[in-house]
Chains A and B, each alone.
Chain A
Amino acid sequence: MSEVQAPAAYVAPKARSLFEPHRIVLMLIFAGLIFCVAWFMRWDWLPRYQGRLVYGVGQTLLMLFSTAIVGFLFAVPLGLVQVTGPKPLALLARGFCTLIRGTPLLLQLWLLYYGLGSLFAQFPEIRSSFLWPYLRQAWPYGFTALMISFAAYEGEVMRGAFAGVPKGELEAGRAFGMSRFTLFRRIWLPRAIHRALPTLTGETVLQLKSTPLVATVTVVDVYAIISRVRQETFLTYEPLLLLALIYLCLTGMLVYAFRLLEKRIPTRGV
């Protein structure tokens, strides 16, 4: 009897229908909430700010992607030297990561913007250089702070990922005559990124949620736009709810995109 039943235990659970009782209840509650928000709150300001909101979202995404991409480019060598040495460079990289990870991003941003920014202004050489038009603006400081932060966190992630690539796979590459560069480009790096991808998803989402900090140094992102809406309309909850919804959607899209990326190379129990 039990022998006959045993295989049945391995049948995959049936896909759950969307219309099971508890789901219907949850959906009703959610629909009710949406209705209340739409009906009892004020949204008439929305069309007026539409254009600026879209611009803000664009700035937020630009800030996110530019800092994440450039930061990651720095993270790779930061992680690599910690694994391969030479010792002084490894210590330097480790110190950098510890320093940045150990202090608040907001503090770094302000030190850069108020500290470095005003310091630059004191040097006539800098003021007259071709860089000054950029250094006078806020976004280079926001970009640098966010980028450095991402590099430090991901440097640590990549250190673990590089170290975690099975020695045997690297050895196989060497045994087949790969040069150091080929080994790195074809085996070590892609394998490390592959391993780190799930962590990188989370870190990129965190990075997205760090971007509003740049609004504190007058960079205009979606958060800054919403702040403006609050000041001008004297509304509190509506703009903030919208802001939450925007970040939620952006996060969802990010996670989805990373999932697609992860699926390209399936693994079992990495």
Chain B
Amino acid sequence: MRFQHRMPTKLLGEKSVQKTGDASAGGVGNMAESAQAIEIRDLHKRFGPLEVLKGVSLSAGQGDVIALIGGSGSGKSTFLRCINMLELPTAGQVTIHGETIQMKSDGQGGLMPANRKQIQRIRTKLGMVFQSFNLWQHMTVLQNVIEVPVHVLGQPREQAVEVAEALLRRVGLYEKRDAYPSFMSGGQQQRAAIARALAIQPLVMLFDEPTSALDPELVGEVLSVIADLAQEKRTMILVTHEMKFARQVASHVVFLHGGVIEEQGPPEAIFENPQSERLKKFISSIH
């Protein structure tokens, strides 16, 4: 099957689990034989009088790692949150693996979901990792990771636990599986949050500054997990301030400024040979 590589054998040794992984991917996979993993067309977003996104288009192929950079307040988070409709765009279109999210006019110049069920279904294909982890504090790490597979996707518990334990082993938290988030370091919490996002076997991973809330000495452990995911060709969109890291893992870098994409290209071009004045200034300000 086409999306088999999303569950690498390295992660799941058990054949039975791998089989179900394919089955759940099949639903979206069938209709998306040749589509981009993610395609965003002319996205606009305004908060009252403030127009944060003024027409952003972006597409990512299977296995692309797109790094989204830009100054504070440039709308990076807003853009990322419009992809899974945590923020409703004012205009524009989002397509995940060939399936376009249906929107209708809200009668006030904006959009609203036309089909809530569809959005919920598509969201289960997008693994989001937040800046502030947002783990559910009343659940252990393991419960956090199996929550969505069991209670949203309806997987049998044993199977979800098996997958979750493999994922936790992978992010180095197997020993912490019965710990509550408030007793863990930021780095551990963020790795658990990544495991939670991986547990839904996402088509695309969305990271919103996953290391910004961490103490400097904890950044490395989280970045190495993300780098690992990039290496296995997982489709990801990554908002980050870690330029060195972006350069290292990204296949494509997008510089957002003033609500539009000011410049984009392969990391070497963006970081070594920036064209626009603003990008030059931004890059020099970061270093």
Identify the A interface with B (CB < 8 A): 166, 168-169, 171-179, 182, 186-187, 190-191, 194, 265-269
Asked whether, in the complex, the Cβ of B124 is within 8 Å of the Cβ of A169, the reply is no
Point out the residues of chain B lying under 8 angstroms from A168, CB to CB.
Answer: 130, 132-134
A37, B136: Cα distance in complex, Å: 53
With contacts A186-B147, A265-B180, A268-B183 taken as known, whether A176 is within 8 angstroms of B128 at the C-beta atoms is: yes
Main secondary structure of the interface of A (DSSP, over half): helix
Asked whether, in the complex, the Cβ of A176 is within 8 Å of the Cβ of B134, the reply is no
**Min CB–CB distance A158 → chain B (angstroms):** 15
A190, B144: Cα distance in complex, Å: 14
**Min CB–CB distance B5 → chain A (angstroms):** 22
Asked whether, in the complex, the Cβ of A172 is within 8 Å of the Cβ of B182, the reply is no
Asked whether, in the complex, the Cβ of B136 is within 8 Å of the Cβ of A169, the reply is yes
Identify the B interface with A (CB < 8 A): 84, 86, 116, 119-124, 126, 128, 130, 132-138, 147-148, 151-152, 180, 182-183, 196-197, 200
Asked whether, in the complex, the Cβ of A179 is within 8 Å of the Cβ of B180, the reply is no
- Specify which of B135, B148, B180 is in contact with A177 (CB 8 Å cutoff): B148
Extra contacts besides A176-B123, A177-B122 (18): CB < 8 Å: A166-B134, A168-B130, A168-B133, A169-B136, A171-B86, A172-B134, A172-B135, A174-B123, A176-B128, A176-B148, A176-B197, A178-B120, A182-B151, A194-B138, A265-B138, A266-B180, A267-B182, A268-B182
- Specify which of A172, A173, A175, A266 is in contact with B126 (CB 8 Å cutoff): A175
Listed residue (A176, A191, A269) with the most chain B CB atoms within 10 angstroms of its CB: A176
A178, B123: Cα distance in complex, Å: 9
With contacts A190-B138, A191-B136, A191-B137 taken as known, whether A178 is within 8 angstroms of B152 at the C-beta atoms is: yes
With contacts A177-B124, A177-B152 taken as known, whether A191 is within 8 angstroms of B138 at the C-beta atoms is: yes
Point out the residues of chain B lying under 8 angstroms from A166, CB to CB.
Answer: 134, 137
**Min CB–CB distance B254 → chain A (angstroms):** 21
Point out the residues of chain B lying under 8 angstroms from A174, CB to CB.
Answer: 86, 123
Asked whether, in the complex, the Cβ of A186 is within 8 Å of the Cβ of B130, the reply is no
Point out the residues of chain A lying under 8 angstroms from B182, CB to CB.
Answer: 266-269
Point out the residues of chain A lying under 8 angstroms from B200, CB to CB.
Answer: 176-177
Point out the residues of chain A lying under 8 angstroms from B147, CB to CB.
Answer: 176, 186
A266, B132: Cα distance in complex, Å: 20
With contacts A172-B130, A176-B200, A269-B182 taken as known, whether A182 is within 8 angstroms of B138 at the C-beta atoms is: no
Asked whether, in the complex, the Cβ of A175 is within 8 Å of the Cβ of B128, the reply is yes
A166, B135: Cα distance in complex, Å: 10
Point out the residues of chain B lying under 8 angstroms from A187, CB to CB.
Answer: 136
Interface pairs (25), CB distance under 8 Å? A168-B133, A169-B134, A169-B136, A169-B137, A174-B123, A176-B123, A176-B128, A176-B147, A176-B197, A176-B200, A177-B119, A177-B122, A177-B124, A177-B152, A178-B120, A179-B120, A182-B152, A186-B147, A187-B136, A190-B138, A191-B138, A194-B137, A265-B138, A265-B180, A267-B137
A186, B135: Cα distance in complex, Å: 13
A44, B130: Cα distance in complex, Å: 69
Asked whether, in the complex, the Cβ of B183 is within 8 Å of the Cβ of A266, the reply is yes
Asked whether, in the complex, the Cβ of B124 is within 8 Å of the Cβ of A176, the reply is yes
